[in-house]
Amino acid sequence: MCILFKIFKKSDWEERWFFLRRWIANPKQLGALFPSSRALARAMARYALEDINPQEKILELGAGTGRFTQALIDAGIPEHRLICIEIDPNLGIYLKKKFPKAKIVLGNACALEQILKAESVNIDIGVVISGLPMLNFPALVQQEILRGCFKVLKPKGQFLQFTYSPFTSIRSQCFALSKTRKCWVFNNLPPATIWSYVLE
């Protein structure tokens, strides 16, 4: 236990404890006991940067405690170009304090177009990265989320999703999507896979 405390900073433990409390309140909504690892966050940011130009924004679904958000900023994306969707009000407050220049939108990703319109968000999305637990969602919920995302995404823009399953967590053949496994991330608990989806 002493070794573990040396590995993680105090802020890491505070973040993990906060995330764990939100998981206890709604486990299906969060899908994991702890936030994604920094290794997974860095990998998601790296692949997000492959397909974006300096004018485009990045849309993040299920921002949680902001691990992916921070990784994107660390990778060079200006904070004001990030739009973070979060359904949990407590996590939304946390994100607004942590990332005051990002656009934090509280709402359900199933109603993406409506909540972005209500927040007067200028839609110019280059890539979507998702921290949503898609395996927990039925096909109809997945369909609503993906429909909204590809409505606001640029043509041929990619939807990046990680999963703890060795297989895709999105039924791409049902949604006319082409899929590519980007990488495995073993330095995560549990190990994760990153997939890219593009509308055919």
Tell me if residue 84 falls in helix, strand or coil. strand
Identify each DSSP E strand in the chain by its residue range: 57-61, 82-86, 103-106, 125-130, 153-163, 177-185, 192-199
Of 21-25, 182-186, 188-192, give the lowest mean pLDDT range.
Answer: 21-25
Surface-to-core class of residue 109, CB atoms within 10 Å of its CB (0-12 exposed, 13-18 middle, 19+ buried): buried
Residue 84's nearest CA partner among 71, 75, 174, 39 is: 71
Tokens of 72: 């994107």
Q: Where residue 173 falls among pLDDT bands split at 50, 70, 90?
A: confident
What value, to the nearest 5°, has the Cα angle with vertex 82 and ends 121 and 98? 115
Q: Where residue 169 falls among pLDDT bands split at 50, 70, 90?
A: confident
Q: What is the mean pLDDT of residues 83-104?
A: 93
Q: What is the mean pLDDT of residues 36-59?
A: 91
14 pLDDT higher than 80: no
Q: What is the mean pLDDT of residues 23-46?
A: 72
10 pLDDT higher than 90: no
- Whether 53 and 77 have beta carbons less than 8 Å apart is answered as no
- The CA–CA distances, whole Å, from 27 to 31, 58, 187 equal 6, 26, 22
Q: What is the mean pLDDT of residues 124-128?
A: 91
Q: What pLDDT is stored for residue 81 in this prediction? A: 94
Q: What pLDDT is stored for residue 150 in this prediction? A: 94
31 pLDDT higher than 50: no
Q: Which domains does the chain have, with CATH numbers?
A: 36-199 (3.40.50.150)
User: In which element (H, E) is residue 11 found?
Assistant: helix 10-25
Model pLDDT for residues 55-76, shown as the tens digit of each residue? 899 999 999 889 999 999 999 9
Q: What pLDDT is stored for residue 109 in this prediction? A: 93
Interatomic CA distance for residues 112 and 189, integer angstroms: 29
Give this prediction's pTM: 0.82
Interatomic CA distance for residues 162 and 158, integer angstroms: 13
Of 31-35, 49-53, 116-120, give the lowest mean pLDDT range.
Answer: 31-35
Share of the chain above pLDDT 70, in %: 82
Strands lying side by side in the sheet with 153-163: 103-106, 82-86, 57-61, 125-130, 153-163, 192-199, 177-185
